[in-house]
């Protein structure tokens, strides 16, 4: 049966710049010199690979860049999690999101993506650096309310949700109304997050200790439905209606 194809969120990535120690994914034991690369996504995904489960149904190229979509589930079934004090709402079925990876690894370096986020509460727009062992440095953009820009980092060997996350308001219009350029600059000593070239957060290796992300990582960009688990749905300002 065909799942009804409903676009509930739009994300156009105008361009993305990776400037790093870029290592071919086929051989991450080698560390060739830094290579700079740039993708506009207006008519191709060259140099990127769809995550398993993501299909061409969930994206299209446009003059503004790549448009990502969530396919709605056959029905939205609202449930309440009675194991939480607030009986938090969530959806029985999640929409099918879209994720794609860069094909080169970087171990330290700078990455920027120019993004307009989805505007549907419960949908999460993610621009992240992720290593095969789970080390992660990210921006995740939420729809609805205030403090919709989250920055975070995780140590793959022991993921602790919430501990290293920060939230903030966008510099001007909401993230779903305006393109902003989100940058992660990562060195062995510190991680700096920027929006439109303005530093908004800095974490040092000294502060993070052993939990500092250090494994070779790839850029991953995605749009996902955060409605399926009550705590996640609440964080994501959802569940999606």
Ligand X SMILES: *[C@@H]1O[C@H](CO)[C@@H](O)[C@H](O)[C@H]1NC(C)=O
Tell me if 14 sits within 8 A of 123, measured CB to CB.
no
Tell me if 153 sits within 8 A of 137, measured CB to CB.
yes
Q: Is residue 117 a contact residue for ligand X (CB under 6 A)?
A: no
DSSP 71: B
Shortest Å distance, C-beta 173 to ligand X: 31
Shortest Å distance, C-beta 100 to ligand X: 8
Shortest Å distance, C-beta 20 to ligand X: 15
Phi-psi group of 147: left, alpha or beta (phi > 0 → left; psi -120 to 50 → alpha; rest → beta): left
Q: Is residue 220 a contact residue for ligand X (CB under 6 A)?
A: yes
Phi then psi for 233, rounded to 5 degrees?
Answer: -60, -40
Distance CA 49, CA 206 (A): 34
136 tagged catalytic: yes
Residues in region 40-69 near ligand X by CB under 6 A: 49, 51-52
Stretch that binds ligand X, among 7-15, 88-96, 129-137, 226-234 (CB under 6 A): 129-137
DSSP 158: S
Stretch that binds ligand X, among 34-42, 124-132, 153-161, 194-202 (CB under 6 A): 124-132
Q: Is residue 209 a contact residue for ligand X (CB under 6 A)?
A: no
- Beta carbon nearer to ligand X, 50 or 200: 50
Phi then psi for 92, rounded to 5 degrees?
Answer: -65, -40
Which of the residues 30, 36, 51, 140 is marked catalytic?
A: 140
Residues in region 145-184 near ligand X by CB under 6 A: none
Q: Is residue 77 a contact residue for ligand X (CB under 6 A)?
A: no
Which of the residues 30, 36, 136, 189 is marked catalytic?
A: 136
Exactly one of 22, 123, 130, 236 binds ligand X (CB under 6 A); that residue is 130
Distance CA 234, CA 238 (A): 6
DSSP 230: H
What the block records as the tokens of 123 is 């949908």
For residue 208, give Cα distances in angstroms to 34, 157, 191, 202, 222. Answer: 26, 14, 10, 11, 26
207 tagged catalytic: no
Q: Is residue 26 a contact residue for ligand X (CB under 6 A)?
A: yes
Binding site for ligand X (CB under 6 A): 26-27, 29-30, 49, 51-52, 82, 101, 130-132, 218, 220
Active-site positions? 136, 140
């Amino acid at each position: 049966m065909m799942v009804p194809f409903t676009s509930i969120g739009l994300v156009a990535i105008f361009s993305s710049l990776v400037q790093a120690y870029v290592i071919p994914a086929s051989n991450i034991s080698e560390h060739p010199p830094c290579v700079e690369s740039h993708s506009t996504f207006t008519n191709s995904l060259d140099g990127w690979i769809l995550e398993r489960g993501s299909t061409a149904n969930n994206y299209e190229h446009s003059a503004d860049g790549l448009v990502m979509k969530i396919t709605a589930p056959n029905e939205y079934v609202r449930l309440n999690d009675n194991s939480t004090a607030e009986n938090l709402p969530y959806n029985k079925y999640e929409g099918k999101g879209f994720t794609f990876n860069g094909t080169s690894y970087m171990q330290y370096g700078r990455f920027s993506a120019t993004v307009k986020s989805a505007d549907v509460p419960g949908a999460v727009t993610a621009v992240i650096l992720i290593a095969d062992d789970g080390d992660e440095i990210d921006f995740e953009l939420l729809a609805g309310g205030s403090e919709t820009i989250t920055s975070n980092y995780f140590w793959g060997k022991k993921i602790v949700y919430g501990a290293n996350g920060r939230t903030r308001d966008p510099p001007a219009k909401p993230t779903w109304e305006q393109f902003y350029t989100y940058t992660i600059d990562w060195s062995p000593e510190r991680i700096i997050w920027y929006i439109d070239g303005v530093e908004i957060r800095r974490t040092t290796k000294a502060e993070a200790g052993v939990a500092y992300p250090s494994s070779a990582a790839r850029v991953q960009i995605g749009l996902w439905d955060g409605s399926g688990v009550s705590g996640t749905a609440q964080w994501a300002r959802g569940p999606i209606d």
